[in-house]
Amino acid sequence: MTKKLQIRDQRGQTIVEFALVLPLLMMILLAILQFGVLFRDYLAVTDAVRSGARKAAVSRSAPSPTTACENAVKNAAGDLNVADQLVVSCTSSWNAGEDVEVEATYPFEIDILGMVVKSGRFSSTTTERVE
C-alpha cells in the first residue's frame, strides 16, 4: 500500500519539469533560427559583392562603370531589401590593370521573442583587377 501512495505523489513531476524547461528550449530554438536568417543574409551580401566586382572588372569601357557595378550588386542580392537598406560602393580609377574595390553593407537585427538582442550592419568587400 505504501508503494501505490508513493507513485501517486510523483504523477505531475514530468509535466512540471517540462513546463520549467520549455521556455529555455524555445529560446534556444528561436536563437538558432534567427542565426540562420542572419547567416543567409550575410551570404547573400557576400555573393552579391562578388558578382558586382566581376561586373566592374569587365565594365571599364561602359558609359558608367560605377553604376553598372552597383546595379550588378543590387540585382544579385535577390532576397535582401535592396531598395532601402543595401548600401553599395564601387571604387576604382577604371584603368586597365588597376584594382576595383566593391563594398556593400546591410543592416541586421537579432530579434528573439520581440526583443532586439543585437543590431548593426555587416559588410563585405571584394577586390578585382580591372580588365
Kindly write down the DSSP assignment for every residue of the chain, as one continuous string: -HHHHHHHHTTTHHHHHHHHHHHHHHHHHHHHHHHHHHHHHHHHHHHHHHHHHHHHHT-TTSS-HHHHHHHHHHHH-TTS-TTTT-EEEEE----TT-EEEEEEEEEEEEEETTEEEEEEEEEEEEEEE--
Angle at CA of residue 128, ends 38 and 88, nearest 5°: 45
What is the per-residue pLDDT for 44? 92
Predicted local distance difference test score (pLDDT) of residue 121: 94
Q: How far is CA 28 from CA 25, 40, 109, in A?
A: 5, 18, 17
| Predicted pLDDT of residue 14 | 87
CB neighbour list of residue 25: distance below 8 Å, 6 or more residues apart:
none
d(CA 106, CA 45): 7
Looking at residue 72, its pLDDT comes to 94
Mean pLDDT in residue range 92-97: 91
Number of domains in the chain: 1
| 127 vs 117, more confident | 127
For 59-80, what is each residue's pLDDT tens digit?
A: 989 999 999 999 999 999 887 8
pLDDT digits (tens, 9 = 90+) for 15-55: 999 999 999 999 899 889 999 999 999 999 999 999 999 99
Highest-confidence range of 39-43, 84-88, 110-114, by mean pLDDT?
39-43
Per-residue pLDDT, 2? 56
Domain membership of residue 105 as a residue range: 2-129
Q: What is the pLDDT of residue 6?
A: 58
Q: Over 80: is that where the pLDDT of 94 sits? A: yes
pLDDT at 8: 60
